[in-house]
Amino acid sequence: MTIKGLRLFACAAAYAAAGVLATAGAQDMELTEDGYYAKPGANVLVFSNYYDSLFSDSKISGVEIVQHGIRTATNGDVRLSATPGQWDPIGLFVEREVSEEDGVITATLNYDEYDFSYTIRSETKGDQVVVSVNLPKALPRELEGKAGFNLEFIPSQYWDKPYLADGRPGLFPPYASSAMEMPYQDEAWGTRAEAKAIASAKTFVLAPGDDSHQITLSAGNTDISLYDGRNQAQNGWYVFRSLLPAGKEGKVLEWTIDVDSDPNFVREPVVSFSQVGYTPERSKIAVVELDDNDTAPATANILKMDADGTVSTVLEPAVEPWGDYLRYDYATIDFSSITEPGLYAIEYDGERTVTFPIAEDVYDTTWHATLDVFFPAQMDHMFVNEGYRVWHGASHLDDALQAPVDHVHHDLYAQGPTTDTAFEPLEHIPGLNIGGWYDAGDYDIRTQSQYGTIRTLVAAWDKFGITRDQTQVQQDIRHVEMHIPDGKADLLQQIEHGTLQLVAQFDAVGHAIHGIVEPDLGQYTHLGDGVTKTDNLVYDASLGEHEVAGEVGSGRSGKLDDRWAFTSKSSALNYGSLAGLAAAARALEGYNDELADKALSIAVETFAEEEGKEPDLYRHGNTTGGPVEVERFRAAAELLLTTGDDTYAEAAGRYWDEAKEQFFPFIGTSALAIVPMMPQAYSEEVRAASESWLVQREESAADNPFGVLITRGGWAGSGTVVNGAILQYDIHRTFPGLVDTAEIYDAVDFIFGRHPAHNLSLVSGVGAQSKKVSYGTNRADFSYIAGGTVPGILVLKPDLPENREDWPFFWGQNEYVIPNGASHIYLMNAVMDLSDD
């Protein structure tokens, strides 16, 4: 326990002795130094988090409520519909001001397209927070009857709860079933309908009588209406909404928010540890996450489970205070002295964790589900079967249409002023309906993800020679069977599958493309079997919308549902893709020589072409490659590894000098891989850069008790943790003695459960307890894909670590992506290798 925690405990004990612990004043909402309102057990945040222009609504913005440690409400803001979707119009954040003296927070936003600005103002009133909407001028006429103040509540916390609407009882619907308005055609979404209100009242009481969920919303003489956003989209929330009045300015709306809470609330401790267990000789340190008002017992118990059913205490380690991080206190439990193989659990403050093993082989199977299940499930253009279950049919066989020029797509793709191909807009580009993986929890083929995944899988093949065979892949008939060996290394079959797509791009248009993606939001938000996303018939503009010509597999249709290929030239993408192709060529040699030869030929020719001209610097979103300095160094390095040609050694040397200082974390693994093939001076420079990065990494990880860098962006950082550990491993193998390998195990422990917020493994289906509700293609079923790694712990400003297991639709916390799957396979084989030392 920290000094702060001990002090608070001592004060609480003294007040309790005096009989005045739960005074009314102690329950008042107060503006904290961190810029949000707090009372015991409850917080109200006002634009601590706000939308950026990247992904719009990610359910982390505006007025938000944290009740007994759980964020239950968000998106308190002015919106233009009752149940807005992720890509619907949203106010652009301008500024936020906090007046500590007055206890007032104001946030100013605007809708530029409507010349509409507004301010959300908040202040405390005893134990309540009063939120008002203030307009410098009256609502624009076109927004009358549309603009309103919304506050959204997460369904998973309320779908089994009641409410009172001006005293009238009601139940939150557990499944979307409320009435809808007549549908209309929306330019972005296609056919759409708006939800009707479930109930309206001046005052709503949510979950009355339940102090962990009860919240009262009151708008004076103004109506508040309740809507169910799930009727329009599975990721919708319960929305409370008041329309803004027409013809008024100044303060036009005021809500009072009363968050019920237990004044003596103390959040349950979280004992975090590796859910897959530990090898005998390595360090074993659990981390305890504590409420500020909690106290850590002086010791814990390490329990051993014996074959006869007895449970014995084998160690009573001290619980050592660590300090504060974010909003919690932390302590550590070191049980490294236990080396005897067996099954163990940690008992802390009377509660016992699940059982975990200590054994030499604890890491040996941790990557199997990723290779056996996750990657096959992500394979596009293939029928994928697992026993009695079909994951999906052979999808997107009608790929792909040339994207229109000067078109910005909603998911970070864009087409420039020309096609940069021989194809006209919306003309079919033949040959793209092969290979590739669904990039993430959606169904697009993002080229940058494809080649990054290939490079990592090839690195795993190079280093570890992984020959596991549990999947049957038949490319000629587009068929995959999980858990059926076929005599071929699964890793090579996955490398082959990704390579087929990259080669197809060069064959089709002569260069790497940004990717292939659904053209509109209606298709993009599709949840279900990927084969049902299109009709699998190539679009033919000469046919009527419902007309079909030809046979299945070679037919055409007039239905404009084919995915689009974004094709503007980008040198960064070309370099990145040829790096993937060059790497694949050496892995596929002897397995698929024809594909290996073709991949290498494309890589060599494309590198020469790029080196002989000014680079194409077209960039948009995150689909046009990384920094060109990074991509071309990687390209030279992979070509050198594959060919041994001094031409590429010279190029790698030039590009190393250009990228080493700014981009070492991104090029480090490639730089280390070619050390044996480069001059001594290069080796010395890479060693120096490695030493510098290791110092920076240690400094960046020092602010938390988990020993890793915990990122603070809108996408959580498990990938950063894993890739940092991979770089440490590669440094260790290249320059023995530079790396404390215990830090690599810190990263492994983080992924498998030793992290903030909860102690679940971030790899679904791996570990005693793991992520079972995640953002995969099956997220609408509140399910998961075994072997997928989620982004993990998202730190909401200013201090709330969050990873939700009750709601899969938080993509920044729960969305699988294929590069993280490849990195997981590599890292697990790396720690197996370390364990053999």
Q: Flag whether pLDDT at 436 surpasses 60.
A: yes
Average pLDDT taken over every residue of the chain: 94
The answer to whether 319 touches 300, Cβ cutoff 8 Å, is yes
Q: Which pTM value belongs to this model?
A: 0.95
What are residue 720's DSSP bridge partners? none
The answer to whether 63 touches 54, Cβ cutoff 8 Å, is no
Q: Flag whether pLDDT at 797 surpasses 80.
A: yes
The answer to whether 287 touches 274, Cβ cutoff 8 Å, is no
The whole-number pLDDT of residue 207 equals: 98
The whole-number pLDDT of residue 314 equals: 98
Tell me: the pLDDT tens digits for 16-26?
333 333 333 44
The whole-number pLDDT of residue 56 equals: 64
Greatest Cα pair distance, the chain, in angstroms, is 87
The whole-number pLDDT of residue 776 equals: 96
Tell me: the pLDDT tens digits for 706-721?
999 999 988 999 999 9
The whole-number pLDDT of residue 553 equals: 67
The whole-number pLDDT of residue 191 equals: 77
Q: Which residues contact 374 (CB under 8 A, 6 or more apart)?
A: 785, 786, 787, 788, 816, 821
**For the ranges 88-92, 425-429, 595-599, which has the lowest average pLDDT?**
88-92
Backbone CA torsion sign across 430, 434, 437, 441: positive
The whole-number pLDDT of residue 8 equals: 32
What are residue 437's DSSP bridge partners? 379
Which of 822, 823, 804 has its CA nearest to residue 813? 804
The answer to whether 415 touches 407, Cβ cutoff 8 Å, is yes
Read off the amino acid at residue 582: A
Confidence of residue 14 (pLDDT cuts 50, 70, 90): very low
The whole-number pLDDT of residue 25 equals: 40
Confidence of residue 331 (pLDDT cuts 50, 70, 90): very high
- 204 vs 211, higher pLDDT: 204
Tell me: the pLDDT tens digits for 778-789?
999 999 999 999
- The mean pLDDT of 348-367, rounded to a whole number, is 97
Q: Flag whether pLDDT at 182 surpasses 90.
A: no
| 307 upstream amide cis, omega within 30 of 0 | no
Q: Flag whether pLDDT at 763 surpasses 50.
A: yes
Alpha carbon of residue 828 to chain centroid:
20
Confidence of residue 7 (pLDDT cuts 50, 70, 90): very low
Q: Flag whether pLDDT at 221 surpasses 70.
A: yes
Helix (H) or strand (E) holding 814: helix 811-814
The whole-number pLDDT of residue 443 equals: 95
- The mean pLDDT of 226-244, rounded to a whole number, is 96
Token output for 644 = 């041994």
Tell me: the pLDDT tens digits for 456-483?
999 999 999 999 999 999 999 999 999 9
**For the ranges 101-110, 168-177, 374-383, 551-560, which has the lowest average pLDDT?**
551-560
- Which domains does the chain possess? 32-259 (2.70.98), 270-358 (2.60.40.10), 369-626 (1.50.10.10), 704-837 (no CATH)
**Phi, psi angle pair for 482, to nearest 5°:** -75, 150
User: How many Å apart are CA 445 and CA 441, to the nearest integer?
Assistant: 11
For tokens 């503007």, the residue is 568
User: How many Å apart are CA 612 and CA 634, to the nearest integer?
Assistant: 18
Q: Which residues contact 512 (CB under 8 A, 6 or more apart)?
A: 447, 451, 502, 505, 506, 570, 573, 574, 576, 577, 578
Helix (H) or strand (E) holding 830: helix 818-835
Tell me: the pLDDT tens digits for 277-288?
999 999 999 999
- 3-state SS record for 472-530: EEEHHHCEEEECCCCCCCHHHHHHHHHHHHHHHHHHHHCCCCCEEECCCHHHHCCCCCH
The whole-number pLDDT of residue 510 equals: 98
Read off the amino acid at residue 318: A
- 674 vs 58, higher pLDDT: 674
- 358 vs 195, higher pLDDT: 358
The whole-number pLDDT of residue 185 equals: 76
The answer to whether 303 touches 260, Cβ cutoff 8 Å, is no
First to last CA, the chain: 36
User: How many Å apart are CA 441 and CA 437, to the nearest integer?
Assistant: 11
- 3-state SS record for 363-414: CCCCCHHHHHHHHHHCECCCEEEECCEEEECCCCCCCCEECCCCEECCCCCE
The whole-number pLDDT of residue 13 equals: 33
The whole-number pLDDT of residue 86 equals: 85
The whole-number pLDDT of residue 2 equals: 37
